[in-house]
Chains A and B, each alone.
Chain A
Amino acid sequence: MGYKAKFRVWRGEGGDGKLEDFTVEVNEGEVVLDVIHRLQATQAPDLAVRWNCKAGKCGSCSMEINGKPRLGCMTRMSTFEEADTITVTPMRTFPVIKDLVCDVSFNYQKAREIPSFTPPADVRPGEYRMQQIDVERSQEFRKCIECFMCNNVCHVIRDHEENKTNFAGPRFLMRIAELDMHPYDVADRKDAAQEEHGLGYCNITKCCTEVCPEHIKITDNALIPMKERVVDRKYDPLVWLGNKIFRR
């Protein structure tokens, strides 16, 4: 059932570039990344794209397909009509290095600004005891494959370069929530979430949740509860302390 598809792919280095048209074979069961690979092998050997696992597990092949952030490896060609022209561009929020590859170092900087897991000093490896129900909240956030599409789509930084310094993006606000909900984390993260990492910028439009390929409920389960914790805290620090002790 192979057919020829029309692709428009962003080509260029640094700030310069343009959409280039290709006609390329598509076979049964293929995904967009397969087609990009066929372009590399047959028409554009230096076409740059990141990828690794090809099974939606590593979060490398984030791109925008017809304007929507998607993983190239999980976007079936069968979701398009044969007559469609498929436009593939790099993620918009990050500077382009070449073709479909962006400079995502913003994300690694933000990751480093969030204080790490802080267990109590007196618990030794092997002594941790946690109930499944208590780890499940953080486990949901740890499903994150760091495709950075949530940060890419978040309008706080997508259209406002100037916010990048003060806003960690959904990915790393979720990381703060993950640590805050970890049964053994003793660090106080609420003030920093609000004041240093920009939780307050988020106005819960849920764009991040919609693009998450892992279907993590970023807004409902991480960002909103985190906002609530920050507010509670403002009223009564004892609530925070009580929560921490109670959760053990």
Chain B
Amino acid sequence: MKNVWYIILVGLSLFQSCTKKEINWKFDSEIKLDNIKPIGIAIVNDTLWVSDGEGNRIVQLNKEGKILKEEKGFDRPMHIANFKKGLAIPEYGKDVITILEHGISKALPSPKLDAPAGIDFNNGSYAIADFYHHKIHFYNGKEWRSFGEKGKGNSQFLYPTDLHIADEFLYVADAYNHRIQVFDKEGAFIKIMAEDLGINAATGVFYQEQQVFITDFENHRVLVLENSGELKQILTQSLANPTDMIVLKEKLYVLNFKSGTISIFRK
């Protein structure tokens, strides 16, 4: 009888380890960009768009990194985001968010900004990382809520640079507090992530399938955490001052500001 229980227990353990799929990202390749200093990345119709901070433009790329289309005339475009069928571009130098749709640009009405560094959209709501104001502005479809102030405590920021709206929560790259802060859509503080992982400038954040990806700019790393906060993986290969990342068709694309490249990792 004891042997039967033993077999059942072993069997259950094996079953659990098989069903709990460990995601392990492996370096796949690197794309060299043509004279681009990449800061933000977004997907529109399954194609990649990248903001070029030095060139004051946004570019559409094919999978080899070749420029298919170029939109110029932005003032230091930062972390861009998909907006309906177009793009939202935070213009750091002009203090506006520009919406580019079907070749037409228009300003997104927003609270007063001082160097907007990031924006994200999700199901009719959107949020802006306001760098010099140390604030997040969240639009819930009806009205704006602004929260945050300069500091190191909960709900305080030190130069937020990016954010990602995922389901019920908002993940904020609190860059120079070297951490991620998580809020609900009312702006209520939920938790801090990654603050003890030795990050030096958490410039970008991306969430997908219970995983939180964080760019560690000065340490040339991408940290992969479970939503619980547990560190699962540290990516370093080919990274040089990474600023942002995104997952498209099971591949992780990481922008490298210093080298002007995109590092690709696959599951």
Q: Do A and B form a real pair?
A: no
